Chains A and B, each alone.
Chain A
Amino acid sequence: AQSVTQPDIHITVSEGASLELRCNYSYGATPYLFWYVQSPGQGLQLLLKYFSGDTLVQGIKGFEAEFKRSQSSFNLRKPSVHWSDAAEYFCAVPTGANNLFFGTGTRLTVIP
């Protein structure tokens, strides 16, 4: 079965610094991969998704992610973090017809 792991439970970055959140997937073929963001007490919003083709995917809010088959990774990046980016970030992969398996999440804290 497909799954994803997020090794970092909590990351703290300074405002304006760059950000990289890690996601590793487990699947033999090319997976579909998603990054979602959840602000405190809110629902989830899709940041970006990868299906095939260009391995560098652009998303909303200035985020991008790169699919690396050799490393089984789909890391999320942002060149300059804003205080409003503080949230929980989930990597996700489909596990069947319309099912999503979410990673355990990475909580991002942004300090001034």
Chain B
Amino acid sequence: DTEVTQTPKHLVMGMTNKKSLKCEQHMGHRAMYWYKQKAKKPPELMFVYSYEKLSINESVPSRFSPECPNSSLLNLHLHALQPEDSALYLCASSQWGSGAVNEQFFGPGTRLTVL
């Protein structure tokens, strides 16, 4: 199984809502990632988890809160978002190793719209 799944596919939320994005992989990867991608732009790294511990936070606002409950699951909790947070949120996973030589496998993304 070389698939990364993400739910939901689409999410519309108000600025006062609390919602969560979910990501799952069963490839035994110990690195998992959240990216944010605006239209016609490349993905921007938000968070990296290695062995279920947060290893990188790219100065992401606290209204985004990641969680890695186990080695297969990655969540992104959303609260008090702004309209400019509307984007495609991509999850990825890879083996963990130095030099970033490992292929990252991406999920299809969650299209988030904040009203």
Contacts and interface: CB of A to CB of B under 8 A. Distances in A.
A42 B91 CA distance: 11
B25 to A, nearest CB: 12
B42 A51 contact: no
B99 interface: yes
A95 interface: yes
A67 interface: no
Nearest to B48: A98
A41 B10 CA distance: 11
Interface string B81-115: 00000001010101011111111111111010000
A100 B104 contact: yes
A90 B45 CA distance: 14
Q: How large is the interface on A (under 10, 10 to 19, 20 to 34, 35 or more residues)?
A: 20 to 34
A35 to B, nearest CB: 12
A90 B4 contact: no
B100 A43 contact: no
B32 to A, nearest CB: 10
Given A44-B90, A45-B106, A96 B100 contact: yes
A102 interface: yes
A98 B94 contact: yes
Q: Is the interface of A mostly helix, strand, loop or mixed?
A: strand
Given A43-B90, A44-B43, A51 B108 contact: no
A100 B100 contact: yes
B108 A42 contact: yes
Contacts of B104: 44, 46, 100
A97 interface: yes
A43 B99 contact: no
19 contacts: A41-B108, A41-B111, A42-B108, A43-B107, A44-B43, A46-B104, A46-B105, A94-B101, A97-B55, A97-B98, A98-B33, A98-B97, A99-B48, A100-B45, A102-B43, A104-B41, A105-B40, A105-B41, A107-B40
Interface of A: 32, 34, 36, 41-46, 49, 51, 90, 94-100, 102-105, 107
